[in-house]
């Protein structure tokens, strides 16, 4: 397995020497090599849970929209992703994948859409093992799940009518952001639509001085696409969608038929509700201990 991956890395280095620049995957602007990290760099504390792989992964940065990406796995088929990244050891570099993150995602969606349960037809895109959609349905929400490499459960009567789509910590994994968003839109309603994308943005974390020391730049986690807020806005605009971002830079709303002021208000209300609920949990916990 390592020999095959090493041979692949050598071929990518040869390609880079022949053609050092490439079009950006989002805006088609010129991108050039930005930094190299080892394939085993992960998001867990210490970043190299399995030691160095001695396999270089080159990331490019677009001069126009600051999108950072690698084409290292662009030619991988599903089996190759499963072999090299999403294998039995994946849980060691993403310990929240199975349960903690799906629970957190479900809570965030419920908080964001408070009061809209009766009118929401939801799709969790890239929903992994389907736990987020399961939790939402258990709480009375109409929600389906679609994951190209995981679990897919789509209700025929809902397909083409989804008016809310979530993609929580998904877009950093896609080697083709435009195709992924296009797929989501083809499954959604042609009318009013909200898309919640949960992914970190590198604004303020990555520069020529810091390079890719950012913890989120992690090939072993499958993080092949790293976004600036500008790149996400330009991705939205390619499809005629408006873009809004929460203050933390990890919650992004793409909308059609909903004003930017309304999406910003929705994000702000969700943030305030999360704070209130967190404070209530702490207060009731203090009462129980007292």
| Residue written as token pair 């030619």 | 75
Residues 6+ away with beta carbon under 8 Å from 46: none
- Domain borders along the chain are 2-93, 100-205+228-289
Distance from C-alpha of 193 to C-alpha of 254, rounded to nearest angstrom: 8
Distance from C-alpha of 246 to C-alpha of 124, rounded to nearest angstrom: 20
Instruction: Determine the topology of domain 100-205+228-289 in CATH.
Output: Rossmann fold (3.40.50)
Please tell me the predicted confidence (pLDDT) of residue 225.
98
Please tell me the predicted confidence (pLDDT) of residue 272.
75
Q: If the chain, 290 residues long, is cut into consecutive pieces of 10 residues, what is the mean pLDDT of each piece?
A: 86 93 97 96 90 96 98 91 92 94 94 94 96 97 93 95 97 97 97 97 94 95 98 98 90 94 84 66 54
The DSSP element (H or E) to which 59 belongs, if any, is strand 56-62
Please tell me the predicted confidence (pLDDT) of residue 256.
97
Q: pTM, whole model, 2 decimals?
A: 0.92
Q: ∠ at Cα 200 (196, 202), nearest 5°?
A: 135
**Residue 279 CA neighbour count, 13 Å, CB half:** 6
* Count of CB atoms situated within 10 Å of the CB of 128: 23
Rounded to a whole number of angstroms, the distance between the first and last alpha carbons of the chain is: 57
Tokens of 128: 């992994």
Distance from C-alpha of 218 to C-alpha of 82, rounded to nearest angstrom: 16
* Count of CB atoms situated within 10 Å of the CB of 160: 12
Please tell me the predicted confidence (pLDDT) of residue 62.
98
Phi and psi (nearest 5°) for 236?
A: -60, -45
CB 78 within 8 Å of CB 85: no
Distance from C-alpha of 126 to C-alpha of 9, rounded to nearest angstrom: 27
Phi-psi region of 215 (alpha: psi -120 to 50; beta: other; left: phi over 0): alpha
Please tell me the predicted confidence (pLDDT) of residue 67.
98
């Amino acid at each position: 397995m390592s020999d095959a991956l090493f041979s692949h890395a050598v071929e990518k280095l040869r390609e880079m020497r022949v053609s050092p620049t490439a079009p950006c995957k989002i805006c088609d602007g010129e991108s050039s090599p930005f930094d190299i990290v080892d394939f085993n760099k992960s998001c867990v504390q210490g970043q190299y849970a399995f030691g160095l792989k001695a396999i270089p992964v080159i990331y490019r940065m677009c001069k126009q929209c600051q999108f950072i990406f690698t084409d290292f796995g662009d030619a991988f088929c599903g089996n190759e992703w499963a072999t090299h990244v999403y294998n039995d050891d994946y849980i060691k570099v993403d310990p929240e994948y199975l349960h903690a993150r799906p629970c957190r995602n479900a809570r965030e969606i419920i908080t964001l859409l408070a009061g809209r349960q009766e009118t929401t037809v939801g799709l969790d895109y890239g929903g992994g093992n389907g736990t987020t959609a399961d939790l939402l349905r258990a709480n009375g929400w109409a929600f389906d799940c679609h994951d190209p490499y995981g679990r897919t459960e789509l209700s025929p009567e809902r397909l083409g009518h989804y008016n809310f789509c979530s993609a929580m910590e998904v877009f950093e994994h896609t080697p083709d952001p435009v195709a992924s968003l296009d797929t989501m839109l083809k499954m959604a309603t042609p009318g009013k639509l909200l898309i919640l994308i949960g992914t970190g943005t590198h604004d303020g974390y990555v520069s020529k001085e810091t390079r890719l020391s950012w913890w989120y730049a992690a090939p072993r986690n499958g993080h092949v696409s790293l976004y600036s807020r500008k790149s996400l806005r330009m991705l939205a605009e390619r499809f005629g969608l408006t873009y809004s971002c929460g203050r933390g830079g990890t919650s992004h709303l793409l909308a059609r038929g909903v004003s930017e002021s309304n999406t910003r208000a929705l994000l702000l209300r969700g943030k305030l509700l999360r704070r209130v609920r967190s404070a209530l949990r702490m207060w009731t916990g203090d009462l129980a201990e007292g």
